Every structure is written in structure tokens, then in C-alpha cells.
Chain A
Amino acid sequence: MFLDRGQPTTMADFRRLYESTFPILFRVSLRIAGSEEAAEDLCQEAFFRLHEKGMMFPNAEEAKYWLIRVVKNGSLNYAKRKERERKAYQRAFREDHRVQETGESVLLKQETSREVQEALDRLPENLRTVLILKEYGELNYKEIGRALGISEGNVKVRVFRARERLAAMMGKDGTHVS
């Protein structure tokens, strides 16, 4: 990987980028892919690609946005593949599509959080991704815009619409308690 006018990065630079970016990538990937193992693999793959391809970036921030984009796309693909797989198995076993509830989910707090998670999953991808980067990646609007290649104004609108829809869904599901 190269930063700043073609100067090769040192191992220390790479480590710094890794330490500051890994938590963001892992949280975002975990939320989208829904599996710690998958999130770990996806993050590793992104860093490895960065290194292997000799990517050039003007600065460490741009490298971070590239990593976020790669992990986000990889995680979305993983989630779609898993969903297709799940549906295929369900058809094969002629199962009801409702997820089996565990004993733990009787707790109200967990119930609410599960329903919000499901509501988030029902959002269209363009709204969902922006909100995930906001809430799990803890990035600001500008950073989200850079990572996704959209304008800051577009990020504002999408975060707002995503929140409005979640709030509406929570209200409709009866999980919203004032």
C-alpha cells in the first residue's frame, strides 16, 4: 500500500491504519453480515487486498474510506448470499419463514432491540447502509459521503429518512413505548 506521493508505507503506518479502522469495519460488517466469523473474514480480506494490490492513496483517510467501501460491499454480498441460502433451505424443508424465538428473547429490552434490528433489515439498502455507517461505524456525514461516493447532503437525507422509517415501524409494531 502506498500513501503520500508514492512513498511506500512502513509497517508502522499500516498498523496505525489497521488499529484505527478495524473497529469501525468490524462493527459495520457484523451488523450487515450478522456473523462475527464472517465479519472477521471480511475485514481480513479487505486489509489483505489493500496490501496485495499495492493500492495508492493520497492519505490515510482515503485508505480508510476504501476499506469501508470494500467491507460494506462484501458484507452486503455475504448477507444476500446467506438469505438466498436460508430461503432455499426453508423451501426444501417446507418450513415457516418465521425465525424461531429463543427463551432469552422474552425480555422486553431484547425484544425491542430485535424488532428494531428487523426493522433496520427491512429498510431499502441505500437507507440501511447509511444508517449502519452512522450508528455502527460512528462516522460523520462527510466521512460517510466519502466512503459511499455520495454527497454530504445526500447522506443527511438518507440518515433522516432511515430514522423516520424505523421510528414509524417501531410505532406500528407496538414496540415504541414513550
Chain B
Amino acid sequence: MCPDRQLVSMYIDGEVPSPWKEKLEAHLASCPSCASRADEFRRVSAILRGTASEAAPAAMENARARVWKNLVVRTPPPRRVSNWSRPLVLPIPAAIAAVLVVAVVAAGSAGIAMNPNAKSVPAVAIQQVETPAIPVSDMGSVLHYLDSQDSGGNIVIIHLPENSNFAFGGEPTIVRAADYTGRVTR
């Protein structure tokens, strides 16, 4: 009795394990019908593979080299996991301590920001003109100094910031102060 034709298909793919493989081979040797079925399957396979091997090798080699070159250009070397994307693991006491420190610092800076009289970092730096300390006893020098101040004419050099890193507490402080005053008067 002939085995299932599917077994013949599996056989030519080398997918029939050993004891059955030999049995099937023995059957194919004695059964012309099954042998011709196997030949038919092999021919289909050979034609399909044949057309692939005719066209592919040279084209494939070129493509393989080109694509690799493009991949190396387009993709950065494999990324290491960034420290920022790793989950932060802290023992609970340390975490509580960290939260407290952040809270204290935040409360302190918020207090400064809310107080309109508090000194805030100026958005512009005013250059302090260095003046030598003049003893009051030396009246002549004091008068001379005051004269120079008058004639020199209150020249204050204001440097605009050289970069755009405006210090927090300039404009926002004013805005917050106004907001605060508003709430007080209401």
C-alpha cells in the first residue's frame, strides 16, 4: 500500500526522520507511481531553485555589500542604555531624605521668589566701578574725587547678558511679586 503523498513531499525536503525515511526509500524503489510523484516534486523544486540561482548570485552580492554600507552610514553604533532611561532604585530612607532635601530647597527658593523685596539675580549685570577708598581726613582728595564724579557724569556701564541663559528670578520674580500684591490688596 502506498504511503500518503504528503510524505513524499516531506521526504524530498529531508523532513522525514530516520526509520521512516529508509522505509519510504525502499517503497520508492519498488513503486513506479510514487517514484514518479517524487520526480515530479523534485522537478518543480529544481525549476524554482534553478531560476533563483541563475539570477541571484551577482546581484545579491552587490546588494549585500551596498545595503551593509548604507546601514552602517544610517545607523549609529548600537546604543548603550542611557543612565536616564534606567529605573532609579533607592533604599526607602534615602528616597525620603532626597524628597525632604528637594522640598526644603524648593520651599526656600519659592519663598525668595514670592518676596518682592528679596534680592533677585538681576537679568543684567551692572559693572561696579572700583573706587579707591579715600580717607575722610584728606579733604582735598575727597573734593577732588567728588569733582571727578560730577564731571565724569554718573556713567554706569550696563552689560547685557552675553548668552540667553537668563537667571531665574528676573522677570518672573516681578510677575510673581505683582501677582502677590494683587492678592494682598483684594
**A154-178 near B? 1/0 per residue, CB < 8 Å:** 0011011001101100100000101
Q: Does B1 contact A (CB under 8 A)?
A: no
Contact B59 A36 (CB under 8 A): yes
**B1-45 near A? 1/0 per residue, CB < 8 Å:** 000011001100111000000000000000000001000110111
The distance in angstroms between the C-alpha atoms of A136 and B152, with both chains bound, is: 92
Chain A CB count within 10 A is highest, among B36, B44, B52, for B44
Residues of B within 8 A of A149 (CB): none
Contact of B81 among A8, A30, A113, A167 (CB under 8 A): A8
Contact A167 B51 (CB under 8 A): no
The distance in angstroms between the C-alpha atoms of A175 and B114, with both chains bound, is: 92
Q: Does B125 contact A (CB under 8 A)?
A: no
Assuming the contacts A9-B78, A26-B63, A36-B63, asked whether A159 and B48 have C-beta atoms less than 8 A apart, the reply is no
Chain A CB count within 10 A is highest, among B14, B36, B43, B66, for B43
Interface residues of A in 8-34 (CB under 8 A from B): 8-11, 14-15, 18-19, 22-23, 26-27, 30-31
Closest to B74 in A: A48
Contact B60 A167 (CB under 8 A): no
Q: Within the complex, what minimum Cβ distance (angstroms) separates A22 from chain B?
A: 5
Contact A164 B5 (CB under 8 A): yes
Do most interface residues of chain B lie in helix, strand or loop, or is the interface mixed? helix
Residues of B within 8 A of A112 (CB): 47
Closest to A155 in B: B15
Q: Does B97 contact A (CB under 8 A)?
A: no
Q: Does B67 contact A (CB under 8 A)?
A: yes
Residues of A within 8 A of B64 (CB): 19, 22-23, 26
Q: What is the size, in residues, of chain A's interface with B at 8 Å between Cβ atoms? A: 48
Contact of A48 among B48, B52, B71 (CB under 8 A): B71
Contact of A120 among B15, B48, B55, B67 (CB under 8 A): B48
Residues of B within 8 A of A160 (CB): 5-6, 9-10
The distance in angstroms between the C-alpha atoms of A26 and B79, with both chains bound, is: 27
Q: How many A-B residue pairs have CB under 8 A?
A: 110
Closest to A22 in B: B64
Closest to B71 in A: A47
Contact of B67 among A10, A44, A140, A157 (CB under 8 A): A44
The distance in angstroms between the C-alpha atoms of A141 and B70, with both chains bound, is: 32
Residues of B within 8 A of A54 (CB): 79
Q: Does B80 contact A (CB under 8 A)?
A: yes
Q: Does A62 contact B (CB under 8 A)?
A: no
Given contacts A160-B9, A170-B44, 13 further A-B contacts (CB under 8 A): A8-B79, A15-B68, A19-B64, A23-B60, A30-B56, A51-B75, A116-B44, A116-B47, A116-B48, A117-B51, A136-B48, A156-B10, A163-B45
Interface residues of B (CB under 8 A from A): 5-6, 9-10, 13-15, 36, 40-41, 43-45, 47-52, 55-56, 59-60, 63-64, 66-68, 70-71, 74-75, 77-81
Interface residues of A (CB under 8 A from B): 1, 6, 8-11, 14-15, 18-19, 22-23, 26-27, 30-31, 36, 39-40, 43-44, 47-48, 51-52, 54, 112-113, 116-117, 120, 131, 134-136, 140-141, 156-157, 159-160, 163-164, 166-167, 170, 176, 178
